[in-house]
């Protein structure tokens, strides 16, 4: 009796705690995150149904075949196995695994490519590089670099090129996309898009040393008009990024937000060995990107040395 009261009290205490949880992955604000949220919900419902059936059968067996008041020497009759039942409990798990496999394969294919609803839009390419313990975001198209925050336009596909300068990390924005690893000497591509303007929490989800807990960043999604204004403001107010300044940024430690014109790709380019993603080679840089890097490097070499940030 005491055990029942204890379990009931435990349930009363746990339910309010769970109701206060902020499950960002189940509050998607972009097509990639929405696809993954559907997969999570589908998996939860499927597993809950399986548990319900198992528990019902378990209770049924306990009640129907419970021990009765038989003679002390009673021996139950020998019963041969049922081929029908054996076939059922083999086929059902196979069907469940097949169903979940199909859902997973299809959803993985969807999130590893440009969202179908935005396939006619030109993707915005942003290089996201990690170092201990900060994130560096390079915009080759805009000729801008930021630290520990990234701005993106809404309703436009974004391709993050992920790599690391040292420890392996994991780039994760729960409301916009799933996590993907950033590693040294290779580049992974993560596709995402934001449906609505807003501020979205991002972090490194892979343990990477003493400063891991504070390795967070903000993704600010804004209208295309506001995004264009931000780009214009940066070029009007921010100072250029020089190699000496960038080398200081790579030193271990935490930093606040910083904004620069130019990118580090000109003097410290991303690895050339990229990974296959979305059905096409994301590895080698395009001629346009390589020319930008070359011109950016020449521009930085010609400018007098000075340290700067936002």
Residue 249 structural domain = 121-302
What tens digit of pLDDT does each residue of 106-154 get? 999 999 999 989 999 999 999 999 999 999 999 999 999 999 999 999 9
Rounded Cα distance, 124 and 158, in Å: 5
Residue 22: predicted pLDDT: 59
13 pLDDT exceeds 60?
no
Assess if residue 74 is contained within a domain.
no
User: In a 3-state reduction of DSSP, which class is residue 240?
Assistant: strand
Rounded Cα distance, 212 and 225, in Å: 35
CATH assignment at residue 127: 2.60.40.420
What is the total residue count of the chain? Answer: 310
Residue 137: predicted pLDDT: 98
Assess if residue 99 is contained within a domain.
no
**Mean per-residue pLDDT, 215-243:** 97
**Mean per-residue pLDDT, 158-171:** 96
What tens digit of pLDDT does each residue of 175-226 get? 999 999 999 999 999 999 999 999 999 999 999 889 999 899 999 999 999 9
23 or 15, higher pLDDT: 23
Q: How many helices (H) and strands (E) does the chain have?
A: 6, 13
Residue 277's nearest CA partner among 55, 125, 74, 111 is 111
Residue 81: predicted pLDDT: 82
Is the preceding omega at residue 204 within 30 degrees of 0, hence cis?
A: no
Rounded Cα distance, 85 and 103, in Å: 27
156 pLDDT exceeds 70?
yes
Assess if residue 17 is contained within a domain.
no
* Number of domains into which the chain is organized: 1
Residue 278: predicted pLDDT: 40
Assess if residue 136 is contained within a domain.
yes
Cα radius of gyration (the chain)? 27
Assess if residue 260 is contained within a domain.
yes
Assess if residue 104 is contained within a domain.
no
Assess if residue 27 is contained within a domain.
no
What separation in angstroms does the CA of 203 have from each of 78, 133, 207, 280? 61, 11, 11, 27
Residue 63: predicted pLDDT: 84
Is the preceding omega at residue 133 within 30 degrees of 0, hence cis?
A: yes
Assess if residue 82 is contained within a domain.
no
Predicted TM-score (pTM) of the model is 0.77
């Amino acid at each position: 009796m005491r055990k029942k009261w204890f379990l009931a009290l435990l349930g009363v205490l746990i339910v309010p705690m769970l109701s206060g949880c902020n499950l960002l992955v189940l509050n998607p604000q972009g097509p990639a995150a929405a696809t993954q949220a559907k997969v999570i919900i589908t998996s939860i419902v499927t597993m809950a149904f399986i548990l319900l059936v198992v528990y019902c059968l378990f209770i049924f067996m306990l009640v129907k075949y419970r021990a009765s008041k038989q003679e002390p020497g009673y021996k139950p009759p020998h019963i041969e196995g049922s081929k029908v039942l054996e076939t059922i409990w083999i086929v059902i798990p196979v069907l469940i695994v097949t169903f979940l496999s199909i859902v997973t394969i299809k959803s993985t294919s969807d999130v590893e490519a440009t969202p179908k609803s935005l396939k006619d839009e030109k993707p915005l390419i942003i290089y996201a590089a990690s170092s201990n313990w900060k994130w560096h975001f390079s915009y080759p198209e805009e000729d801008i670099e930021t630290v520990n925050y990234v701005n993106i336009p809404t309703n436009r596909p974004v391709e993050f090129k992920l790599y690391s300068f040292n420890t392996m990390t994991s780039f994760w924005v729960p409301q916009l996309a799933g996590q993907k690893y950033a590693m040294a000497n290779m580049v992974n591509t993560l596709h995402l898009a934001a449906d609505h303007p807003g501020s979205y929490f991002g972090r490194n989800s892979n343990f990477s040393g003493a400063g891991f807990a504070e390795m967070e960043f903000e993704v600010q999604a804004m209208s295309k008009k506001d995004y264009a204004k931000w780009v214009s403001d940066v070029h009007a107010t921010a100072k250029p990024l020089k190699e000496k300044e960038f080398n200081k940024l790579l030193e271990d430690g935490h930093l606040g937000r910083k904004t620069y014109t130019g990118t580090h790709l000109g003097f410290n380019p991303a690895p050339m060995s990229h990974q296959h993603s979305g059905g096409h080679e994301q590895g080698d840089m395009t001629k346009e990107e390589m020319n930008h890097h070359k011109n950016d490097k020449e521009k930085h070499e010609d400018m007098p040395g000075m340290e700067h940030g936002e």
